[in-house]
Structures are given as structure tokens and as C-alpha cells.
Amino acid sequence: MRYDKLAGLGGVSEHETESARRWAKRFEWPMLVIVFWILLQWLLESADLMPAAVSRIADWLVWLAFVTEAVVLTSLVREKRSYLLNNWINLMIIVIGFPPLWGNTPLAGVLRGIRAILIIGLLFRLSRTWRQVLVQHHLGNSLIIMFTVVAVSGIVIAYIDPGVKSPWEGIWWALATVTTVGYGDVVPVSEQGRAVGVVLLLLSVVLLSLVTANISAFLVSRGAIKGESEVHERLKQMEKRLERIERLMKDIQCRQGGDEK
């Protein structure tokens, strides 16, 4: 079962027309920039750092970008109904995200949160290489485990250590610890918190080693595949040369036979 399709993030199928797949790739980077802008706009508006007029213009531009992508890709795909069903979240954003319907109401923030969900689908569709990296050698499982450990450790230490004020601060500390950055802006001060830190440090050594090993194995395998393709290409060239040599030898033999007669 394709969960990305159920989530409305199916994109253009690999079995669609070449022009549809080509335009889908062209839209990937601009739409990714737009989704990141949605997150940034949300933060700026929450901090009252963006004027209302600028926010309205940005909402219109974002809405038009979604409309443009939907119209272009729908016109290019063969199975239009299947494409629209597999990307239903885009349609929902276009319909309910029409800027005049929202204005400056509190629901506008909810809409921006829904639009931000698209970052998952865009990152998922952005590059086949990324997906291969996550699937091959169980790298995806390693990353999931690492982020789970970071989240759990951050939440736990926020409740047992007075030096960590909130779960978000705890997650920030756990992430800095796991990546061995160690900014030092958040530090556990209790014995229980330091014990959690020791456990997290030991786990981070194992987790980072797994992630690094998986990435290295993937890159080595890609290099091997590339080397094999180069060998095959050279073998094909050698076969062509041998065929030409055989034809030349046959021509020479035919000429020699004619001369003898």
C-alpha cells in the first residue's frame, strides 16, 4: 500500500508521460522553497515581525504557486482522475486556501500548518537518491531510532532536571549531545540529568556509527555500480571493434579468394 498516496502526497506516477514527469521535477525545487517560506512566514507572523500587507501578498503568491502546479501537471498527465485523487491535499489547500476566505482570522494559522505538511511529501519526492539512501542498508530505520532516542531523552530530562526548562529545550540539548556539538547553552545540573546524559552519550556513539556506516556502504555500492557500468560500456566498445575487425578480415579473405581465381 502506498501511504504517500493515501496522505495526498503521491505526486506524478512513474508510469505517466515523460513531459508530466519532467515538469514534476521542475516544480520540486520551487515548491520546496515555497513550503520553507510558509514555515518562515508562520514564525514571522507569530512574532509580529511581518506587516499584514506583506503577509497578504505572500498568501496570494503561495496560493497561485499551488494552483499553477496543479493546473500544469493535471493537464500533462494521462490519468487525471488518479492524479487528483493521489494528490488530494493539494486540492484541499487550493480550495480552502483561497486568501479572501481567510483574511486575518486565527484560522489562517491552521491553514499554514496544513500547507507545511507538504514539506514531507516534497522532500520524499525530491530525489530518488534520498529515498535509496533511506531504504538501502536500513538507513531509514537507523535515523528513526536516532530521532526517537533524541525526542525521548529530551522529554525525559525536561521533567527530571531543573536545568532544562521545557521539552523543546530538552530535545535541543539531546540533539546537540548526540551530534557531539555540545553548545553548552543547556546543561543538566542534577545527578539524574547527568545520568541521562551519560546514557545518551553512549547511545549516540553507536547510533552515529550505524548511520555513518550505512551512508558509507551506500556510497561504496553506488561507486561499484558506476564502475560496473563503465566496464560494461568498455566491453561493448571492444565487441564493436572486434566485429569491425571480423568484417574487415572477411572482406580481405573474399578479395584474396577472388584474386586466386
Q: Is the pLDDT of residue 30 over 50?
A: yes
- Based on the structure, what is the number of domains in the chain? 2
pLDDT value at position 1? 44
User: Domain boundary residue among 73, 91, 126?
Assistant: 126
| One domain, residues 93 and 58 | yes
79: helix, strand or coil: coil
> What secondary structure does DSSP assign to 101-136, as a single string?
HHTTSTHHHHHHHHHHTHHHHHHHHH-HHHHHHHHG
pLDDT > 90: percent of the chain: 4
Q: Which of 72, 58, 60 is nearest to 17 (CA)?
A: 72
User: Domain boundary residue among 94, 126, 158?
Assistant: 126
CATH number of the domain enclosing 216:
1.10.287.70
| One domain, residues 170 and 238 | yes
User: Domain boundary residue among 126, 157, 190?
Assistant: 126
- The residue segments making up the domain with residue 242 are 138-249
Q: What is the pTM of this model?
A: 0.49
**For 126-160, how does the pLDDT look when each residue is reduced to its tens digit (9 = 90+)?**
545 455 555 555 666 677 778 888 888 888 888 88
Q: Are 115 and 38 in contact (CB under 8 A)?
A: yes
**For 70-86, how does the pLDDT look when each residue is reduced to its tens digit (9 = 90+)?**
899 999 998 888 888 88
182 — phi, psi (to 5°)? 60, 65
Q: What angle do CA 220, 25, 42 make, to 5 degrees?
A: 100
Asked if residue 71 is part of any domain, the answer here is yes
| One domain, residues 65 and 143 | no
Asked if residue 34 is part of any domain, the answer here is yes
Asked if residue 131 is part of any domain, the answer here is no
Q: How far is CA 79 from CA 13, 17, 56, 125, 220, in A?
A: 9, 10, 35, 19, 39
